[in-house]
Every structure is written in structure tokens, then in C-alpha cells.
């Protein structure tokens, strides 16, 4: 983001911070909740990918290294589902 702002300012171009902040917000949310940034989807939100694929990727990676310090929201939900630590069923 800083690089884009720098290039625009050197060229004297207007800077659209609205779009940049939307992209950053999307990246932060997807990194926190899903474990990775989904930039390949045009940064138009989460509608461009299927959540089943994300869950499957987490299940495979958790099976290989369950002791990873890098836990995201999906990892936590899968752990709660596996341990049965909730009053509701996660499906």
C-alpha cells in the first residue's frame, strides 16, 4: 500500500484510499479468520471462493502438524468441533 501511494504521489496522480483500505481490511479479515489472504479473487470480498475448500485445507494441514502455533478462526472452530466443547453441533 505504501508503495502504491508513493508511486501515485511521485506521478502527481490522485490517490483513492477507499479502495486501498477495503483491500487491506479484506486481507486482515481473511488472514485472521481463514489463515491466508485471498488476493487472487480480485479483492472483492469472500464471494469468489468456496468455504468447503478452506475447511478441507485446514483439516489436511492440521492432520500433518496439529501443534502449530499459527491458529486461525477456522482452526479454533475445527478444534471445538472435534473436542465437542460446545453446546451446539458445528456442521
Quick: pLDDT tens for 61-85.
876 655 667 788 888 888 888 887 7
- Are residues 44 and 55 both part of a single domain? no
Q: What is the pLDDT of residue 47?
A: 58
Query: Which class for 14: exposed (0-12), middle (13-18), buried (19 or more C-beta within 10 A)?
Result: exposed
- Are residues 43 and 62 both part of a single domain? no
Judged by DSSP in three states, 61 sits in: helix
- Kindly report, residue by residue over 33-55, the tens digit of the pLDDT: 888 776 644 545 555 567 888 88
- Are residues 54 and 65 both part of a single domain? yes
Domain span including residue 80: 50-91
> Into how many domains does the chain fold?
2
- Are residues 25 and 15 both part of a single domain? yes
Amino acid at each position: 500500500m505504501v508503495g502504491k501511494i508513493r508511486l501515485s504521489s511521485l506521478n502527481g496522480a490522485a490517490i483513492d484510499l477507499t479502495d486501498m483500505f477495503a483491500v487491506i481490511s479484506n486481507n486482515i479479515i481473511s488472514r485472521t479468520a481463514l489463515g491466508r489472504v485471498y488476493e487472487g479473487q480480485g479483492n472483492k470480498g469472500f464471494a469468489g471462493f468456496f468455504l468447503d475448500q478452506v475447511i478441507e485445507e485446514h483439516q489436511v494441514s492440521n492432520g500433518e502438524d496439529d501443534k502449530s502455533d499459527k491458529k486461525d478462526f477456522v482452526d479454533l472452530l475445527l478444534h471445538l468441533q472435534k473436542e465437542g466443547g460446545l453446546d451446539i453441533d458445528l456442521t
